[in-house]
């Protein structure tokens, strides 16, 4: 058999066998294998994508969380500042009110004192007038008896007066 | 490592038949001419091993030939269909039912019709010969191996979807993916590669399996399947047919009226169309010859290293054993090289087929 002259028997069997094997493999081997490989690749891709999206979702959530935290922190700070302000205001107000009240009370007390004082002065005046009238009466009664006695009596009277 | 043992056995067993015990002077003995007492012919020895035959020679010890008989299938008008085992021919020595293996002439090595005395009948040609020869048998075995590997594997894929490959699957899967991702997709394009995948994979694994089996020196290996021009021719014709029947308008337009070529190359003498038309056939032809020649050359070289031992052995038995050490070292080296070549040739054939398929559909690349 020549080395470079193809033998038709070999060709016949080769064509037959190759065709059969080709169709068998296509139907029962390459078809399933390739489709399963494809499906596996798809599922791996899907899993990777799912993981990726979960990761972004997660980071998004985390960012939202952070934002929320930031917000609440700011709110808390605001609240604190507000309270501090209100407290100060209240204290201030109380201060003002208290000082006004005390001033009012002071005025009232002063007025009362003044009134009392006036009343007292008036009373003294009354008494002095009464006393003076009394003294004058006594003097007048004793004037004629003795000059010296008169004088001492006036002195006494005056002493009394001073004591009062 | 089993093949090294087999090789050693082969060497030891075959040795007595071919010379070390038979000095050159033996041939000058007064043997009758017809008996062909061997003077070792290296060319013959090598050709015997790479050529097709009706039996599968395993070894020859002394004068005992051990070979696997293969079915002979013949058809003649006179005798109808004849199917019998090639052992009927007693290694080509006997005739059976008027058939014998021609020892010389145009049909040397093939079955011809003979008369009662065993002489070839001239002028009636050969019977229709569809014998399962060594090449065919080895090819069938390799196909059986491929079927037995891949069909159960496909079932494994179906039974465990979306799982990582295990066992033998993980050895073959990268190769399948390689054919898909590095051969088919870059050459054919994403849209169309899928319908070519079964062909490319079948061709790839068929060539690879036969290349590798061809390196193993004992049956079921050792046959020269991908180094047989009929086999590579059928593969190349298959590529040619697939290319031609999947081609689109652009492919034919490119051949008969190639764009971007000066008009005077097409008219009045259609030089370019002629060259392009020739190209349709030279491409698959080159596929056929490349694979055939590469594998055949590999077998030649490996056998040559074995043959060198016997050539030296004929001169002197010491020289024979001395050279054998060197020969075996080279043989081992060549075997490793041939394993590489097996993969490269399977790759090249598949890649070029895929490129031709891709070229037959231009717009996929545009």
Written in H, E and C, the secondary structure of chain B is CHHHHHHHHHHHHHHHHHCCCCCHHHHHCCCCHHHCCCCCCHHHHHHHHHCCCCEEEEEEECCEEEEEECEEEEEECCCEEEEEEHHHHCCCCCCECCEEECCCCCCCCCEEEECCCCCECCCCCCCEECCCCHHHHHHHHHHHHHHHHHHHHHHHHHHCCCCCCCCHHHHHHHHHHHHHHHHHHHHHCCCCHHHHHHHHHHHHHHHHHHHHHHHCCCCCCCCCCCCCHHHHHHHHHHHHHHHHHHCCHHHHHHHHCCCCCCHHHCCCCCHHHHHHHHHHHHHHHHHHHHHHHHHHHHHHHHHHHHHHHHHHHHHCHHHHHHHHHHHHHHHHHHHHHHHHHHHHHHHHHHHHHHHHHHHCCHHHCC
Q: Which residue has the tokens 């934002």?
A: A67
Lowest mean pLDDT among B55-64, B138-147, B228-237: B55-64
Do you know the residue count of chain A? 164
- Confidence at residue A93, expressed as pLDDT on a 0 to 100 scale: 93
If one compares B339 and B267, the residue with the highest pLDDT of the two is: B339
CB B120, CB B94: distance < 8 Å: no
What pLDDT does residue B276 have?
85
Q: Provide the pLDDT for residue B125.
A: 75
Give the closest residue to B337 by CA, choosing from B293, B366, B278, B297. Answer: B297
- pLDDT for res B38: 56
Q: Could you give the CA distance from residue B99 to residue B200 in angstroms, rounded to a whole number?
A: 41
Place of tokens 């690349």: B365
Concatenating the DSSP letter of every residue in B8-38 gives HHHHHHHGGGGTTTS-GGGGGS---GGG-PP
Domain annotation covers residue A51: yes
Positions of chain A with pLDDT under 50: 1
Q: How many CB pairs under 8 A join A and B?
A: 125
In degrees, rounded to 5, the angle at the alpha carbon of residue B352 between the alpha carbons of residues B350 and B356 is 115
What average pLDDT does range B164-187 have in this prediction? 91
pLDDT in tens, B308-336: 888 888 888 888 888 889 999 999 999 99
Residue A137 lies in a domain: yes
Per-residue pLDDT, B32: 42
| Cβ separation A30–B157 shorter than 8 A | no
E strand or H helix at B66: strand B64-69
Average pLDDT of chain B, as a whole number: 83
Who's near B55: CB < 8 A, 6+ residues apart?
B67, B68, B69, B70, B86, B87, B89, B91, B134
Q: Is this structure's pTM higher than 0.80? A: no
Q: What's the pLDDT score for residue B281?
A: 92
Q: Answer yes or no: is pLDDT of B29 > 60.
A: no
The Cα angle at residue B298 between residues B286 and B288, in degrees rounded to 5: 15
Which residue among A9, A12, A33 places its CB closest to the CB of B154?
A33
Within a domain: A126: yes
Minimal Cα–Cα distance from B150 to chain A, Å? 6
Q: For residues B175 and B161, what is the distance between their CA atoms, to the nearest angstrom?
A: 19
Per-residue pLDDT for B124 more than 70? yes
C-beta of residue B138 within 8 angstroms of C-beta of residue B82: no
Which residues make Cβ contacts (< 8 Å) with residue A24, sequence separation at least 6?
B147, B151
Considering only CB atoms, A32 lies closest to which of B132, B140, B158, namely B158
Tokens representing A37 are 């490989």
Please say if the pLDDT value at position B190 is more than 80.
yes
A1 falls within a domain = no
CB contact under 8 A, B229 and A9: no
- Cβ–Cβ below 8 Å for A37 and B157: yes
B4 band by pLDDT with thresholds 50, 70 and 90: low
| Domain annotation covers residue A67 | yes
pLDDT at B257: 76
Q: Does A69 touch chain B (CB under 8 A)?
A: no
Rounded to whole angstroms, the Cα distance separating B137 from B70 reads 8
Alpha-carbon distance values, A129 to A117, A126, A139 (Å): 18, 5, 15
Q: Of B83 and B63, which is predicted with more confidence?
A: B83
| The pLDDT of residue B314 | 85
pLDDT at position A2 is 66
Q: Is B173 on the interface with A (CB under 8 A)?
A: yes
Q: Tokens 């009240």 appear where?
A: A101
pLDDT, tens digit (0-9, with 9 covering 90-100), for B69-114: 889 998 888 888 888 888 888 887 888 888 888 877 778 788 888 8
CA-based nearest residue in chain B for residue A30: B198
Specify if A121 maps to a domain: yes
Q: What is the pLDDT of residue B13?
A: 45
pLDDT at A71: 94
Enter the tokens of residue B234.
Answer: 């059928």
pLDDT: which is higher, B166 or B140: B140
- Chain B 223-252, CB below 8 Å of chain A: which residues? 228-231, 233-235, 238
Residues facing residue B82 across a β-bridge: B74
Distance between A53 CA and the closest CA of chain B, angstroms: 21
**Which candidate in B103, B162, B208 is best for mutational testing of the A interface (most A CBs within 10 A)?**
B162
In percent, the amount of chain B with pLDDT more than 70 equals 88
**Residues of A with Cβ-Cβ distance to B206 under 8 angstroms:** 18, 21
Q: How many helices (H) and strands (E) does chain A have?
A: 3, 0
Q: Which residues of B122-156 are buried (b: 16+ CB within 10 A; e: fewer)?
A: eeeeebebbbbbbbbbbbbbbbeebbebbbebbeb
Q: Give the domain extent around A133.
A: 8-163
pLDDT number for residue B36: 44
From the CA atom positions of chain B, what is the Rg in Å?
25
CB contacts under 8 A, B 28-57 vs A, are 47, 50-53
Q: Does A89 fall in a domain?
A: yes
- pLDDT-based confidence at B365, cuts 50/70/90? very low
What pLDDT is attached to residue B24?
39
- Do B158 and B328 touch, CB atoms closer than 8 A? no
Q: How many domains does chain A have?
A: 1
Q: What is the dihedral of CA B287, B362, B198, A32, to 10 degrees?
A: 160
Q: What is the structure's pLDDT at B139? A: 93
A49 SS3 class:
helix
Token reading at B283: 């491409």
CA angle B31, B33, B35 (to 5 degrees): 70
End-to-end distance of chain B based on CA atoms, in angstroms? 50
Q: By three-state DSSP, how is residue B363 classified?
A: helix
Per-residue pLDDT, averaged over B258-273, amounts to: 79
Confidence band (pLDDT; 50, 70, 90) for B118?
A: confident
pLDDT-based confidence at residue B197 (cuts at 50, 70, 90): very high
| 134-163 of B, contacting A, C-beta below 8 A | 135-136, 139-140, 143, 146-147, 150-151, 153-155, 157-158, 161-163
- Beta carbons within 10 angstroms of residue B182's beta carbon: 13
Please determine, for the modelled complex, whether the ipTM score is greater than 0.85: no
Report yes or no: B36 and B251 within 8 Å, Cβ to Cβ: no
Structure tokens at B278: 């020739």
Closest CA to A3 of B300, B197, B159: B300
- Domain-embedded: residue A2: no
């Amino acid at each position: 058999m020549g080395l470079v002259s193809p033998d038709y028997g070999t060709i016949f069997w080769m064509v037959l066998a190759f065709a059969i094997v080709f169709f068998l493999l296509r139907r029962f081997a390459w078809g399933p294998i390739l489709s399963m490989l494809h499906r596996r690749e798809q599922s791996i891709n899907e899993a990777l994508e799912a993981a990726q999206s979960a990761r972004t979702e997660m980071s998004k959530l985390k960012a939202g969380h952070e934002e929320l935290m930031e917000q609440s922190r700011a709110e808390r700070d605001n609240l604190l500042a507000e309270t501090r302000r209100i407290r100060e205001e209240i204290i201030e107000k109380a201060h003002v009110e208290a000082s006004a009240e005390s001033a009012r009370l002071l005025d009232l007390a002063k007025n009362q004192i003044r009134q009392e004082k006036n009343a007292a002065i008036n009373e003294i005046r009354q008494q002095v007038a009464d006393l003076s009238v009394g003294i004058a009466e006594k003097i007048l009664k004793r004037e004629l008896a003795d000059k010296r006695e008169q004088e001492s009596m006036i002195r006494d009277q005056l002493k009394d007066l001073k004591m009062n | 490592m089993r093949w090294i043992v087999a090789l050693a056995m082969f060497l030891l067993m075959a040795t007595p038949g071919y010379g070390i015990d038979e000095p050159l002077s033996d041939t000058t003995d007064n043997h009758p001419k017809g008996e062909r007492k061997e003077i070792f012919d290296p060319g013959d020895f090598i050709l015997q091993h790479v050529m097709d035959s009706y039996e599968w020679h395993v070894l020859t010890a002394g004068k005992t030939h051990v070979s696997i008989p293969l079915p002979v299938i013949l058809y003649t008008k006179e005798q109808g269909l004849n199917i019998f085992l090639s052992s009927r021919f007693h290694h080509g020595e006997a005739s059976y039912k008027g058939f014998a293996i021609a020892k010389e002439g145009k049909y040397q090595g093939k079955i011809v019709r003979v008369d009662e005395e065993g002489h070839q009948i001239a002028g009636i040609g050969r019977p229709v010969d569809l014998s399962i020869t060594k090449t065919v048998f080895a090819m069938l075995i390799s196909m059986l191996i491929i079927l037995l590997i891949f069909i159960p594997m496909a079932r494994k894929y179906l039974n465990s979807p979306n799982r990582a490959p295990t066992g033998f699957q993980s050895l073959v899967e990268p190769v399948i993916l390689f054919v898909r991702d590095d051969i088919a997709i870059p050459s054919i394009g994403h849209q169309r590669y899928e319908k070519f995948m079964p062909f490319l994979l079948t061709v790839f694994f068929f060539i690879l399996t036969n290349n590798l089996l061809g390196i193993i020196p004992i049956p079921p290996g050792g046959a020269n399947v991908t180094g047989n021009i009929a086999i590579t021719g059928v593969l190349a014709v298959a590529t040619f047919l697939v290319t031609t029947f999947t081609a689109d308008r652009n492919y034919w337009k490119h051949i008969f009226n190639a764009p971007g070529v000066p008009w005077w190359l097409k008219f009045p003498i259609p030089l370019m169309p002629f060259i392009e038309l020739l190209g349709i056939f030279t491409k698959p032809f080159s596929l056929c010859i490349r694979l055939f020649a590469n594998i055949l050359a590999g077998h030649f070289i490996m056998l040559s290293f074995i043959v060198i031992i016997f050539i030296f052995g004929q001169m002197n038995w010491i020289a024979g054993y001395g050279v054998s050490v060197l020969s075996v070292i080279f043989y081992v080296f060549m075997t490793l090289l041939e394993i590489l070549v097996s993969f490269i040739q399977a790759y090249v054939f598949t890649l070029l087929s895929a490129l031709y398929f891709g070229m037959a559909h231009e717009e996929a690349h545009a």
